[in-house]
Chains A and B, each alone.
Chain A
Amino acid sequence: MTRNFKIAYKIVIILLAILATVLLSSAILLILGADIWRTFYTIVITPLTRVGHLTEVFVRAVPLCIIALGVAVAYRSGIVNIGAEGQMAMGILGFTSVALALPDLPKPILLPFALLAGVVTGGLWGFIPGILKAKLQVSELLSTVMLNYIAAQFYSFCLRVPMLDPVEALSGAGTPQSARLSANVEIGRITGRLHYGIFIAIVLAVLVYFFLWKTSFGYKMRASGSERRAARYGGISVPQYITLAMVISGAFAGLAGGIEIAAVHRRAIEGVTNNYGFSAVVVALFGMLHPFGIIPASFFFALLIYGSTLTPRAVGVPANIVDVMQGLIIIVIVTAQMVLQNSYLEDKVWHWYSQKRGLKEETK
């Protein structure tokens, strides 16, 4: 097998995977009777054409990137975190309660303290599935989903009762939201709604890279994930690292929630989590579970998420189309990975290819 063939084989598989995603989403668009080309154009190209659109894409990329980094740490350690949605909600509650309780602290103290509260509450919410998996072998896929629903209910309870904006309570409108937070917890904006949180995301990506690949801690976590039994034989306490990975993952989601409130919404409202927790799983997989892959991946998916909000008006396609695409992308990625790892299939294709080429040369 030549080296060129191997590279070409990989590229062809990846192209086929992209083609499969596009074709399958087109099939759904076809059922809707929508203009397929214009829909894709609206989702992928239109947001790039105006600065106003572009900043909105970046606003969505920040939480996606931060959460996806956490998801990747967990995934590399052998535990799938699909509970980021709930961890983010709990992080928001932690952040908001500190910000509401101590509004008069100076900014250099209050902002880090409130973000830390978000990190801690998110981490605690991640600790539950982590410890359940490590000690009692509870499938994290199920427990995190359940915790998402629990967190969502708790979140709306908090906004409706203990954190309810006094103004809303007085006016009787009762929109479930907290009071506007003090200016001392705000993260500044660069332009539009684009905020400095984007630098936090990039710094975190670099930190995660160093943590996973340049420290023994990260090595042990990756070892627990890739070959559990060998890791245990090597003296690594796998359950401990699995729990820790989930705590880290939850902490990232909590931080993303805190930043989202501090920079974008400036009060806790409904719908902040916006399915970022699930999209981040796709981002992490699409970014090949590597921090430097996750940064572009989070931009790409932020593009899809923002672009899909434009489709209802532009081409009459419901915004839910982005969920369809994300689901398909997950399926296609995991399938393509298996095909790429299948050396037997590669061998077969090589034989077929070389035979065919051999025949051609003979006829020449």
Chain B
Amino acid sequence: MNIIINILAMTVPFSVALLLASIGEMFNQRSGVFNLGCEGIMAMGAFIGMLIPFSIGGGGAVAAGWNYLGLLLAAVIGALMGLFFGLIVVTFRAPQGIAGIGLQMFGVGTAGTLFRHFVGGTQSIPGLSSNPIPLLSDIPVIGEILFSHNIVVYLAFLFVPVAWYILMKTSWGLEVRAVGTYPRAADSMGINVNRIRYEALALGGALAGLAGAYLSVCQIKMFSDDLIAGRGFIAVALVYFGHWKPVRIMLGALLFSFTQTIQYNVQGLGINIPYEFFVMLPYVVVIVVLAFTSRNQTTSPAALGKPFNREIRT
């Protein structure tokens, strides 16, 4: 029983990075842009996020404000990288898949280069401490699983309904969906397609940057070259899994982080299988899930992956 609570109590905070990144990716894809560079943006976010508290405290304790500043700057960097990606795929209309791979290599490479130069070797930081919610965290079992984490965790889960509201109930959300479904019609209604796509990319990039910083500041509390370890790609896969809907994406993120947390509890569970196979598990799950969900995607944004050119009749 204890071990199950333990696993579930880890599942919730571990899902946050995936959750934030894939909600961001959802906005990108809803506007018609497939951003495979998410992994690179997350790497840059993770680096910037840890650099701020590290350079202030030198690896020692710092005021919580510096951690928040790190998270904020990571979101800013992420938004800038999203806009850079927009320049490539929206303005120049480059093929999105391969350009995304380029952005991923660029992001991971830049983060690694700057990290070696400004930090050096692996350095852990104290990171953000957890803030159990008074009263609620005292509830047995549920309190430990849901209400004894740091503030970012609560905010991330609160953001899920907010994202749904933005996407479904605001005029900007309507424009995003229009641009991703039928850009020509949106264009004829006076919506600036490219501008909306840039905005969605900036939002998605900011969330991806924040997700990366969450990993380095709140979850793993250090930076290394393979810190992101494919989470950016899993986030993209989660969007397919969640059928471009925030709540389903959240459920997917929880499912994936559940498979990830198992590897930390293998010994406790008394399973005698080499740990590499548990590390593999989330990636295997992604492939299996993709195999079951990729076909007959009737809900996918119709213009996903298609550059829009108002000067060419299609």
The interface of chain A, by Cβ under 8 A from chain B, is: 28, 31-32, 80, 82, 128, 132, 136-139, 141-143, 145-150, 153-154, 156-157, 160-161, 278, 281-282, 285, 316-318, 320-331, 334-335, 337-339, 344
Report the minimum CB–CB distance from A117 to chain B (whole Å).
Answer: 22
Checking A132, A136, A327 against B106 with a beta-carbon cut-off of 8 angstroms, the contacting residue is: A327
- What are 10 of the A-B contact pairs (CB < 8 Å)? A132-B290, A132-B294, A146-B287, A150-B284, A153-B277, A153-B279, A316-B117, A318-B113, A320-B113, A335-B99
A335 close to B92 (CB less than 8 A):
yes
B291 close to A334 (CB less than 8 A):
no
Checking A156, A278, A322, A344 against B276 with a beta-carbon cut-off of 8 angstroms, the contacting residue is: A156
Checking A143, A156, A282, A331 against B287 with a beta-carbon cut-off of 8 angstroms, the contacting residue is: A143
Q: Is B283 an interface residue (CB 8 A)?
A: yes
- When distances are taken between beta carbons in the complex, the residues of chain B under 8 Å from A156 are 276
- When distances are taken between beta carbons in the complex, the residues of chain A under 8 Å from B276 are 153-154, 156-157, 160
B105 close to A278 (CB less than 8 A):
yes
Task: Report B69-108 CB contacts with A as 1/0, cut-off 8 Å.
Answer: 0000000000000000000100011110111111111111
Given A149-B283, A320-B116, A327-B104: A139 and B290 interface contact (C-beta under 8 Å)? yes
A335 close to B279 (CB less than 8 A):
no
A161 close to B106 (CB less than 8 A):
no
B109 close to A149 (CB less than 8 A):
no
B99 close to A323 (CB less than 8 A):
no
Q: Is B295 an interface residue (CB 8 A)?
A: yes
Q: B residues 250-300 with Cβ under 8 Å of A? A: 274, 276-277, 279-280, 283-284, 286-287, 290-291, 294-295, 297
Which of B40, B108, B233, B295 has the most C-beta atoms of chain A within 10 angstroms of its own C-beta?
Answer: B233
Q: Is B114 an interface residue (CB 8 A)?
A: yes
For the complex, give the distance between the alpha carbons of A194 and B108 in Å. Answer: 30
- When distances are taken between beta carbons in the complex, the residues of chain B under 8 Å from A331 are 88, 94, 99, 102-103, 106
- When distances are taken between beta carbons in the complex, the residues of chain B under 8 Å from A329 are 102
Given A146-B230, A320-B116, A323-B109: A330 and B102 interface contact (C-beta under 8 Å)? yes
A334 close to B98 (CB less than 8 A):
yes
B108 close to A334 (CB less than 8 A):
no
B225 close to A320 (CB less than 8 A):
yes
- When distances are taken between beta carbons in the complex, the residues of chain B under 8 Å from A128 are 287
Number of A-B residue pairs at CB separation under 8 A: 154
Checking B102, B109, B286 against A322 with a beta-carbon cut-off of 8 angstroms, the contacting residue is: B109
- When distances are taken between beta carbons in the complex, the residues of chain A under 8 Å from B143 are none
Which of A154, A285, A334 has the most C-beta atoms of chain B within 10 angstroms of its own C-beta?
Answer: A334
Q: Is B206 an interface residue (CB 8 A)?
A: no
Find the A residue at minimum CB distance from B87.
A335
Q: Is B236 an interface residue (CB 8 A)?
A: yes
B290 close to A338 (CB less than 8 A):
no
Report the minimum CB–CB distance from B100 to chain A (whole Å).
Answer: 8
A326 close to B109 (CB less than 8 A):
yes
Find the A residue at minimum CB distance from B105.
A327
Report the minimum CB–CB distance from A285 to chain B (whole Å).
Answer: 7
B110 close to A324 (CB less than 8 A):
yes
Q: Is B237 an interface residue (CB 8 A)?
A: yes
Given A149-B283, A156-B276: A138 and B290 interface contact (C-beta under 8 Å)? yes
Interface residues on B, range: 35 or more
A320 close to B94 (CB less than 8 A):
no
Checking A32, A153, A154, A339 against B117 with a beta-carbon cut-off of 8 angstroms, the contacting residue is: A32
Checking B101, B102, B229, B295 against A136 with a beta-carbon cut-off of 8 angstroms, the contacting residue is: B295
For the complex, give the distance between the alpha carbons of A337 and B94 in Å. Answer: 8
A146 close to B109 (CB less than 8 A):
no
Given A324-B110, A334-B88, A335-B88: A137 and B277 interface contact (C-beta under 8 Å)? no
Q: Is B126 an interface residue (CB 8 A)?
A: no
- When distances are taken between beta carbons in the complex, the residues of chain A under 8 Å from B291 are 132, 136, 138
For the complex, give the distance between the alpha carbons of A80 and B240 in Å. Answer: 19
Given A138-B290, A147-B287, A334-B88: A153 and B105 interface contact (C-beta under 8 Å)? no
- When distances are taken between beta carbons in the complex, the residues of chain A under 8 Å from B101 are 80, 82, 141, 278, 281, 330
For the complex, give the distance between the alpha carbons of A334 and B294 in Å. Answer: 26
Find the B residue at minimum CB distance from A312.
B116
A323 close to B98 (CB less than 8 A):
no
- When distances are taken between beta carbons in the complex, the residues of chain B under 8 Å from A82 are 101
Report the minimum CB–CB distance from A335 to chain B (whole Å).
Answer: 5
B230 close to A318 (CB less than 8 A):
no
A142 close to B290 (CB less than 8 A):
yes
- When distances are taken between beta carbons in the complex, the residues of chain B under 8 Å from A145 are 230, 233
Find the A residue at minimum CB distance from B106.
A327
A161 close to B274 (CB less than 8 A):
yes
- When distances are taken between beta carbons in the complex, the residues of chain A under 8 Å from B233 are 142, 145-146
- When distances are taken between beta carbons in the complex, the residues of chain B under 8 Å from A325 are 109
For the complex, give the distance between the alpha carbons of A150 and B285 in Å. Answer: 11
A324 close to B277 (CB less than 8 A):
no
A323 close to B94 (CB less than 8 A):
no
- When distances are taken between beta carbons in the complex, the residues of chain A under 8 Å from B280 are 149-150, 153-154
Checking A149, A317, A326, A338 against B105 with a beta-carbon cut-off of 8 angstroms, the contacting residue is: A326
A330 close to B114 (CB less than 8 A):
no
Question: Which 6 pairs of residues, A with B, have the shortest CB-CB distance?
Answer: A323-B109, A327-B106, A330-B102, A327-B105, A318-B116, A320-B112
B106 close to A334 (CB less than 8 A):
no
Find the A residue at minimum CB distance from B113.
A320
- When distances are taken between beta carbons in the complex, the residues of chain A under 8 Å from B312 are 344
Q: Is B36 an interface residue (CB 8 A)?
A: yes
